[in-house]
Structure 1
Amino acid sequence: MKMDSQTLDGDITLIRLDGRLDIEGAQTLDQPFTYLTSTHPAKIAVDLSDVSFVASIGIRTLLAGARGQASRGGKLVLFGAQPMVLRVLQTAGVDQLLTLCADLDTARAALDA
């Protein structure tokens, strides 16, 4: 699992994930993702367009980041999930806990709302 981040206009942190969010991917991602999503309040958009698979441990990592933001007054949204990944997130009920957006523009609007 690869991760990179950048700051966009509007003080939005964009986190791009690339790979599989299985046990190996989640272990690789856990510390850097937790640091980016839990150390200070922020508006964070997580790009899932290059995530080919997500397991329950990967969902836990995403939810932990969102909880970290919520507890600090920030917000985290997910966007760009491939159909299979989106189906897994919806089946697990993640869409009831987090905002899932189709693209970056929709994610920006959700963060500004």
Structure 2
Amino acid sequence: MKLQIAELDHGISKILLDGRLDLDGALAIDAEFKDAVAGKRRIVVDLAGVDYLASLGIRTLVSGAKMAAGIGGKLVVLAPQRNVEKVLRESNIDTLIPIIRDIAEVDLVFGL
């Protein structure tokens, strides 16, 4: 699992994940993900490169969303692959973490 961070306009942090967000993948990025989310109010997690999502990966995303919400922010998921989106929807995570398909939707989600 690889993690890259990019700072976008309007204080938006984009976290790009690539690989399998399973037990090993989640453990590999957990500390770096928490550091990337800490203190941020607008976070986009790009899951286009994630081809598998397991429960520990869900925990990582939910933990980040809670950190953002704790300071009045929001974490959203961008462009998950079909099977990953299915896991997010079937586990009702999409009710806590909005799913967007295109980066152009970010302004609407964050009210910009």
Give unmatched runs, 5+ long, in structure 1: none
Q: Report the Cα distance in structure 2 between the residues aligned to 1:78 and 1:67, rounded to whole angstroms.
A: 14
SS of alignment partner, residue 80 of structure 2: coil
Residue of structure 2 in register with 1:104 after alignment? 103
1:104 CA displacement: 1.0
What is the total number of aligned residue pairs between the two structures? 112
Give unmatched runs, 5+ long, in structure 2: none
Q: Give the root-mean-square deviation of aligned CA atoms.
A: 1.1
Q: Report the Cα distance in structure 1 between the residues aligned to 2:76 and 2:58, rounded to whole angstroms.
A: 13
- Is 1:8 aligned to residue 8 of structure 2? yes
Residue of structure 1 in register with 2:32 after alignment? 32
Q: Report the Cα distance in structure 2 between the residues aligned to 1:108 and 1:3, rounded to whole angstroms.
A: 23
Q: Report the Cα distance in structure 2 between the residues aligned to 1:95 and 1:108, rounded to whole angstroms.
A: 18
- Calculate the TM-score normalised by the size of structure 2: 0.95
Q: Report the Cα distance in structure 2 between the residues aligned to 1:102 and 1:10, rounded to whole angstroms.
A: 19
Residue of structure 1 in register with 2:45 after alignment? 46
- Is 1:59 aligned to residue 65 of structure 2? no
Residue pair 1:77, 1:111 contacting (<8 A) in 2 also = no
Q: Report the Cα distance in structure 1 between the residues aligned to 2:4 and 2:54, rounded to whole angstroms.
A: 20
Using the aligned pairs only, state the percent identity.
38
